[in-house]
Amino acid sequence: MIDLRSDTVTQPSAEMRKVMAAAEVGDDVYGEDPSINRLEERIAGMLGKEAAMYVPSGTMSNQIAVKLHTQPGDELICEENCHVYNLESGGIAFHSQVQVKAIRGSYGVMPKEEVLNAIRMENIHYPRTALLSVENTHNRAGGTIYPLEAITELATIARDHKITMHLDGARLFNASIATGIPAADYAAPFDTISICFSKGLGAPVGSALVGSEALIRRARKYRKIFGGAMRQAGILAAACLYTLEHNIERLREDHEKARRLAKGLRTLPGIDVNARQLQTNIIMILVDRPDMTAFDLAEKLYESGLATLAVDQQRIRAVTHLDVDMEDILRAIDICSNVVAG
């Protein structure tokens, strides 16, 4: 099976498993796990911030960030299709009792005028606008990159209105590799950043929340409340350190595989890929055929040995990653061709 459902399906390599087996460990709740401490120091430095906290998942790091920056009854501004709003099981409401002002974006990018209009004036009838959340790269938009100029504009708006900013940077290194802009430059305007090690970087478990010393100190309390405090998790952190040393630059290979897949799919009748969305390692496949929906096509592809993810009636998502090579991509194109022709 060629699995393109997500870059979360990657398996630890033999070299990564050796590093995990040899990892120094301790009790992280007491701050005594050497591997976790090294990981947190490393990722904080890479993003130009003071501190970081290792957590089991990107969802947890995002939800802790919302909790850090808000009070019950506040409002959060985000793009209407972003992960923190759509794909985290209602965590904003469940954990933080915060409501959302969702803005329609273009390929994941919120118009600055709409952000300005969404900010509440101080009034007894209104919630307080407390947090502005940005996703980079944007999953549902097709792995699109939030331009640094647009982020800088949002940061100016946020500062002027005393609003904090959070970056869901689960795939931030994909944006950095695609543009050549350092990840720290993307992270600089934000109070907190969530970064994921278990997507394109290929670790089996883990994300980090990055920010100031004061914020991360408070975040550790919320991690405990949310059930995310771990003990001898250095075995996992060692894998994350391995990814930072070996798997960032190779993300450009995933981007190239995505472009090759898109090129092959565009030749098929009733199938297209939006070129503007094709910026990193996520391909949104548009299905415009009278004989099948995206769900139908995804099922037929799976039966033929290609796993993808139908996201609605007309779109299938495919994600390239380190566990598929260019030969797999060519086979995937052949499978799609045969299924469509059949």
Per-residue pLDDT at 255: 98
Q: pLDDT tens digit string along 127-179? A: 999 999 999 999 999 999 999 999 999 999 999 999 999 999 999 999 999 99
* Residue 225 maps to a domain: yes
Same domain, 48 and 31: yes
User: Is 2 part of any domain?
Assistant: no
On whether both 256 and 298 belong to a single domain, the answer is yes
Q: Are residues 205 and 290 in the same domain?
A: no
Same domain? 125 vs 272: no
Q: How many CB atoms lie within 10 A of CB 314?
A: 15
Q: Domain of residue 54: give its range.
A: 7-246
Average pLDDT, the chain: 97
157 occurs within a structural domain = yes
Give me the CATH number covering residue 258: 3.90.1150.10
Do 269 and 321 lie in a common domain?
yes
Instruction: Give the CA dihedral 147, 173, 91, 213, nearest 10 degrees.
Output: -100
Query: For residue 207, what are its two tokens?
Result: 């994300």
SS3 content of the chain, % helix, strand, coil (to 5): 45, 20, 40
Query: Which pLDDT does position 171 carry in this prediction?
Result: 98
pLDDT, position 342: 82
* Judgement on whether residues 288 and 264 belong to the same structural domain of the protein: yes
Is residue 48 domain-shared with residue 181, that is, in the same domain?
Answer: yes
Would you say residue 114 lies in a domain?
yes
Kindly list the strands in the beta sheet with 282-287, ordered across the sheet, starting from the edge strand earlier in the chain. Answer: 271-273, 282-287, 315-319, 309-310
Express each pLDDT in 293-342 by its tens digit: 999 999 999 999 999 999 999 999 999 999 999 999 999 999 999 999 98
Answer whether residue 1 is part of any domain. no
pLDDT in tens, 84-107: 999 999 999 999 999 999 999 999
Read off the pLDDT of residues 192-208 as tens digits, 9 standing for 90 and up.
999 999 999 999 999 99
- Residue ranges with strand state E in 56-108: 75-79, 99-103
Are 325 and 230 part of one and the same domain?
A: no
Same domain, 286 and 226: no
Ramachandran class of 247: left when φ > 0, alpha when ψ lies in -120 to 50, beta otherwise = alpha
Q: Are residues 192 and 272 in the same domain?
A: no
Residue 71 lies in a domain: yes
Examine the domain organization and report whether 254 and 319 are in the same domain: yes
Residue 236 shares a structural domain with residue 307? no
In three-state secondary structure terms, 316 is: strand
Dump pLDDT digits (tens) for 221-272: 999 999 999 999 999 999 999 999 999 999 999 999 999 999 999 999 999 9
- Which residue, 28, 10, 11, 54, is CA-closest to 195? 54
pLDDT (mean) for 121-126:
96
Tell whether the model's pLDDT for residue 280 goes beyond 90.
Answer: yes
Percentage of the chain with pLDDT > 90? 99
Residue 311 located in a structural domain:
yes
b/e code 58-77 from CB counts within 10 Å (16+ = b)? bbbbbbbbbbbbbeeebbbb
Q: Give the HSE-up count for residue 211: Cα atoms under 13 Å, Cβ half-sphere.
A: 26
Task: Please give the Cα distance from 324 to 338 (Å, whole number).
Answer: 20
Domain edge (last residue) among 211, 246, 281: 246
H or E segment and range at residue 255:
helix 251-265
Domain termination site, one of 246, 266, 295: 246
Count: domains in the chain: 2
Q: Are 143 and 171 in contact (CB under 8 A)?
A: yes
Domain boundary among 246, 265, 300: 246
What's the CATH number where 16 sits?
3.40.640.10
Distance CA 207, CA 67 (A): 17
Judge whether 327 lies within some domain. Answer: yes
